[in-house]
Amino acid sequence: MGQHDVYQETDERKLQAYMKALLDDLHALELMLETGMIESGVRRIGAEQEMFLVDRNLNPAPVAPEVLKRVNDQRLTTEIARFNMEANLTPLAFGGNCLREMHRELDEVVQLARDSAQSCGADVLLTGILPTLQLSDLSLDNLTPNPRYYALNRSVTNLRGGAFNIHIKGIDELQITHDNMMMESCNTSFQIHYQVGAEEFVPLYNMAQAITAPVLAAAVNSPLLFGHRLWQETRLALFQHSADTRSGALQMRSQPTRVRFGEQWLKGSVLELFRVQIARFRIIMITDGDEPPLSVLARGEVPKLSALRLHNGTVWPWNRACYGIADGRAHLRIENRALPSGPTTLDEMANAAFFFGLMMALPQEYGEIDKQMAFDDAKSNFFAAARHGLKAQFTWLNGQSHTATSLILGHLLPLAREGLKESNIEAEDIDRYLGVIKERVRSGQTGAQWARHSLAAMNDRGTRDIRLRTLTAFMLARQHVGDPVHTWPVVQMDEMDEWRSSYQTVGQFMSTDLFTVRPDDLADLAANVMDWRHVRHVPVEDDEGRLIGLVSHRNLLRLLARGISSSNTEPVSVSSIMKSNPLTVTPQTPTLEAINLMRENHVGCLPVVEAERLVGIVTAYDFLNASARLFEKYLTTDTQENSDRDLLKDAKNASLNADLLTKGVTR
């Protein structure tokens, strides 16, 4: 996330002073470009590894500050959430064994983070989006305690002027609202850096834009969010929503978002990108000013351009222009932000090698890409890759159509190999990393596709929470081994030993596929819904999704007993028979607390409500299901005496339904 000595500012004078510093930095950069002060003829690469921290139950572990304190390595730093971290790798000259060396350091820092995390009862997981994440994890309690993140959240939320609306369609559809920008913490990436000279920046930046689509198609690893099957690389859609500062009026005017692919090919110089960012996007954070950059230049020294770099860090194009200083020389680099974290470090390095090889080969093979491809095609290809992965259809040079698989295997991989070879990358490393891409594309098994196939193979066994936890456990185990994802077998459903972690709260196993009625509906409709869906309870909600009542089969039996419902009487509305203001719980309610509520209040159903909206329902049948799983697990295996005692203890709580049904408590 860059600088940390920053803060939000609302005083107009200070904001104006900061804008002047920003413009001064831009003017200084223009002079540096004109006088040849930007390093050229040198090619360096680098990377940033973002990661999740998970606890023993594979839930997000908000222990990053403690982990970083224990590890005490400057390469590791915070991210926006307490369950995220980031590692910054050492820049390397591009050539020789640089890919192998980058991979070695990557494994080293991940292992350092892992060792420290394990001492805090956690582990490191590399994945684009953690499958076990829940909306309740995204509260400000889990925001990293750093002024930068508090300022960023306040600024983005204030500019937005309301809640963040997330609406993503894939196989499933997800539509939620959230009151802070912690949705950004759902995403982790493997960002790669490619240093370029000022004179070659424009054609190489455009080339990076064009090739991101096929590289991404082969790398997708984020198919799930809150259990919903969405895009193959859902990170892209989610990040755009989570950092969207546009008010309703700006959205109506089609104002670009801070997270974007771009609007056109770059034409003049890198200055165009910075100018557009300053013109379009308001300052949301400031830092204390440096010495005026023109004064630094007058002494023949290199200015930091801190204002420009900070503002640049609050805009998130998928290929970002970056200004930096190394060994006393200013340089420019292209930061590719589109690639996901994981599934393994070998997969990540293969993705990076593919990108770097294409960046070296295609300028010679294609010339200027903006003469060969329409920008809209490059942009369309990018989003097709994010949605469909290797099943994407691309419009490539001169309007020719290709599948992602045929384009990569038949054309781009051989060119990437030549690019790496011409850069004197060691042949063994070329074979290793591009070989991973080749086999992954040939098999069609990206990280995203492996996850989807695994969920399909589980075939709705267990609860959704158990399936996601099983998927995550297998992912973590394979990551420890380090084999690339195309070699992973599909997960077979085998109840986890620690199955209790999937029944800790109501939200983990509640029913969310609900059939509801309105208060003005006929009672006959509620009766038919119960009959059709084989349920005993139907929630009653208003047009805003607020729960206002509950109809049970007992209500209908009483209605029939009174002889009210017949063809000779007036229609009976739901509102006249429903139980108003029923007892409710939230998704975070502990399971045992819900069991006690049902037992003490003699009810067989608890609607689940969050932010005044009905989000699920839990019934006596759900607890009977859990009891059955418990008995199946323990009574079909040999257990020791201590395990038997644990079984009896667990069964006492989990067999509530037998107790409820015996008493006839199913209102």
**Tell me, what's the pLDDT at 496?**
46
Question: What topology does CATH give the domain 506-663?
Answer: CBS-domain (3.10.580)
| Residue listed under structure tokens 């596709």 | 449
**Tell me, what's the pLDDT at 158?**
84
pLDDT at 49 exceeding the cut of 70: yes
| Beta strands 84-88; 173-178: pairing state | unpaired
User: What is the rounded distance in angstroms from the CA atom of residue 136 to the CA atom of residue 186?
Assistant: 12
**Tell me, what's the pLDDT at 174?**
94
Among 58-67, 599-608, 646-655, the least confident range: 646-655
pLDDT at 72 exceeding the cut of 60: yes
Beta-bridge partners for 606: 618
Q: Percentage of the chain surpassing pLDDT 70?
A: 88
User: What is the rounded distance in angstroms from the CA atom of residue 56 to the CA atom of residue 45?
Assistant: 35
SS (H, E, C) 426-446: CHHHHHHHHHHHHHHHHHCCC
Domain boundaries, the chain: 6-362+399-443, 506-663
Same fold, 6-362+399-443 and 506-663: no
User: What is the rounded distance in angstroms from the CA atom of residue 527 to the CA atom of residue 438?
Assistant: 57
Residue 658 — very low, low, confident or very high, per pLDDT cuts 50/70/90?
Answer: very low
pLDDT at 311 exceeding the cut of 70: yes
User: What is the rounded distance in angstroms from the CA atom of residue 530 to the CA atom of residue 538?
Assistant: 7
Residue 286 — very low, low, confident or very high, per pLDDT cuts 50/70/90?
Answer: confident
* pTM (2 d.p.): 0.84
pLDDT in tens, 137-179: 999 999 999 988 988 888 888 887 778 889 999 999 999 988 8
**Tell me, what's the pLDDT at 527?**
87
Question: Does residue 477 contact residue 344 with C-beta atoms inside 8 Å?
Answer: no
Beta-bridge partners for 580: 549
pLDDT at 625 exceeding the cut of 80: no
User: What is the rounded distance in angstroms from the CA atom of residue 462 to the CA atom of residue 583?
Assistant: 27
**DSSP assigned state of 563:** T
Beta-bridge partners for 195: 333
* Mean pLDDT across 444-450: 99
Among 229-238, 430-439, 541-550, 655-664, the least confident range: 655-664
To 10 degrees, what angle do helices 553-561 and 523-533 make?
130
Mean pLDDT of the chain: 88
pLDDT in tens, 506-520: 888 888 888 899 989
pLDDT at 599 exceeding the cut of 80: yes
pLDDT at 245 exceeding the cut of 80: no
Question: Does residue 284 contact residue 314 with C-beta atoms inside 8 Å?
Answer: yes
Question: What topology does CATH give the domain 6-362+399-443?
Answer: Creatine Kinase; Chain A, domain 2 (3.30.590)
Residue 649 — very low, low, confident or very high, per pLDDT cuts 50/70/90?
Answer: very low
